[in-house]
Structure 1
Amino acid sequence: MLSCQAGISKKPMLFYFRQTPAGYRLYVREPGDHFGKGVWVHDHSHLGVVSTDQNDPSAFALRSSEGQIVSLSDLAGDEHQITLTHNGLSVSKGRRSNSPYEYLKTRGDLSTVWTLKVLERSVPWLSSPYEI
């Protein structure tokens, strides 16, 4: 699960956004155990990271502040306020019934605005053997 627990890390996570016809597929680029894994929306709507040898990462759309679907090539500059959606539902924080912590999940009732900081563009996506 992708959690929002206090004290874990104040540093933003680093993801690679791979554009596909279905939308953007996100891959973890943080060094460590999860490097190369894909972001996947589980059946219970929470986001997690999984190895890409068995599952394709879920497809996400980037939406502008006006709600329009945009691509990274539509966004000039390196910092943007966006909403991230999966199947029309916004990615937001939410609690699980068995945990005091917040996790990322898809929700239809809330649109969370995220700050997207683009560090590099036109980067090859195949940098991990787990992404084949």
Structure 2
Amino acid sequence: MTSNIEKSFIATLRMFDHRVGFLEQLYGKPAMATISLFSGGFYTGRPQTRDQSHLLGIRSNEQSGRIKPLKLHFAHTPDGYILTVKNQGNYFNQVISNHWLDTVEAVKPDTDNLTTFILVDRSGTAITLDNLTGVHTAVSLKLKNHAYLGGIKITSLPYVYLGKTEERSKITFILSIVERHVPVIKT
């Protein structure tokens, strides 16, 4: 999938009353969770404990310390934006992608199936860099399958994840432009 540099940009995603980031930043590393596996309504084995530090989540401002805003490169494609992590650390230059729990995670950029996100304004209209006239804009993120990104709680797990939700449960983020890409003019 190719990107259009003129419509790509770097921005932070944050919320007024919650912090947005990787579970390891919000809850400490390692962010462990014990998961019971089910298939078709049947229990399929004993619970497994997994490190979920690389999954994205939210946590209220009162519960979390000072955390840098999530900084992302929004690479424009015909299907939406591919989000690449630009915060220094373990996930630098990894892409945000769907996870099997309907959550989103950081994965290596050479993955076969990149997840694209569509930026939408408060009225549900898709927007691009051309529509982002201010430095700070209220946006929601929509996935290709019409699900939105919102906060989800999984039974028996201690975290609030960012994951697929219905429109009524979507999160409205504050998108703050850090860098607009200027097209290269050849002479």
TM range (shorter): 0.7 to 0.9
Give the number of equivalent residue pairs. Answer: 124
Instruction: Output the aligned Cα RMSD.
Output: 1.8
Alignment partner of 1:49 is 2:103:
no
How big is each residue's C-alpha offset from its partner over 1:40-70, in whole Å with a ceiling of 9 and x where there is no partner? Answer: 0123310001001234531000001111011
Three-state SS of the structure 2 residue aligned to 1:26 is: strand
The list of structure 1 runs, each at least 4 consecutive aligned residues, that deviate by more than 6 angstroms after superposition, is: none
Instruction: Tell me the residue number matched to 1:96.
Output: 154
Instruction: Tell me the residue number matched to 1:113.
Output: 172
Alpha-carbon distance change, 95 to 123 in structure 1, aligned in 2, over 3 angstroms: farther
Spell out the pairing of 1:81-92 with structure 2 (5 A cutoff): 81-86=138-143, 87-92=145-150
Aligned equivalents of 1:18, 1:74: Cα separation in 2:
15
Aligned equivalents of 1:27, 1:8: Cα separation in 2:
24
1:123 CA displacement = 6.7
Spell out the pairing of 1:1-132 with structure 2 (5 A cutoff): 1-5=55-59, 6-7=63-64, 9-86=66-143, 87-108=145-166, 109-122=168-181
Three-state SS of the structure 1 residue aligned to 2:149 is: strand
1:90 CA displacement = 1.1
The structure in which a higher percent of residues are strand is: 2
- When the two structures are superposed, what TM-score results if normalisation uses the length of structure 2? 0.61
- When the two structures are superposed, what TM-score results if normalisation uses the length of structure 1? 0.85
Q: Which sections of structure 2, spanning at least 5 residues, go unmatched? A: 1-54
Alpha-carbon distance change, 9 to 25 in structure 1, aligned in 2, over 3 angstroms: farther
Aligned equivalents of 1:33, 1:24: Cα separation in 2:
22
The answer (yes or no) to whether the contact 2:137–2:175 under 8 Å persists in 1 is yes
Three-state SS of the structure 2 residue aligned to 1:118 is: strand
The answer (yes or no) to whether the contact 2:151–2:169 under 8 Å persists in 1 is no
The answer (yes or no) to whether the contact 1:38–1:56 under 8 Å persists in 2 is no
Three-state SS of the structure 2 residue aligned to 1:120 is: strand
